[in-house]
Amino acid sequence: MTEIVHLTERTLWDEAVRAGVYAQSTRGRTLAEEGFVHCSTWEQLPDVASFLYPDADAPGRRALELVLLVIESERLSVPVRYEAAAPGGPEFPHIYGPVPTEAVVRVESWPPPGCLGLRPSEPPSTDR
């Protein structure tokens, strides 16, 4: 089983549950606009979270309710390609199509409990 993860806003996930598919690519961009769903590995997640949501816990701002979608890639019927944003850079998993909600095996709050920001000291446990 290969797990890849995607960080999103709770409201977007709630819409996906009603529709049966998740079709957001990244913060502020849809699958239709971008062409794929941006994902990451567990190891890449802290840096991705800090990059995409640097303002998520900013003082004086309404906190975003973020959730982490844990996706089992074998449950997808569309291609998953590992691609670098720049030559020689790290490769990130990209899902080339909508994500059926049944491919999401867990939904977790982000940041994890006990984390004082978007960078946990270690990856969340995958034991559930």
Mean pLDDT of 20-41: 96
pLDDT at 116 over 80: no
Instruction: Find the domain containing 39 and state its range.
Output: 3-110
Residue-level pLDDT at 112: 66
Q: What is the mean pLDDT of the chain?
A: 86
Q: How far is CA 114 from CA 40, 55, 77, 117, 119, in A?
A: 22, 19, 36, 9, 11
Within-domain flag for 122: no
Within-domain flag for 116: no
CATH code for the domain in which residue 69 is found: 3.20.170.20
Residue-level pLDDT at 108: 94
Q: Which of 44-53, 57-66, 97-106, 109-118 has maximum average pLDDT?
A: 97-106
Question: Whole-prediction pTM value?
Answer: 0.83
Question: Angle at Cα 67 formed by Cα 115 and Cα 16, nearest 5°?
Answer: 180
Within-domain flag for 67: yes
Within-domain flag for 23: yes
Q: 97: which 2 tokens?
A: 């199509």
Within-domain flag for 128: no
Within-domain flag for 127: no
Within-domain flag for 117: no
The number of folded domains in the chain is: 1
Within-domain flag for 120: no
Confidence bin at 120 (pLDDT 50/70/90) = very low
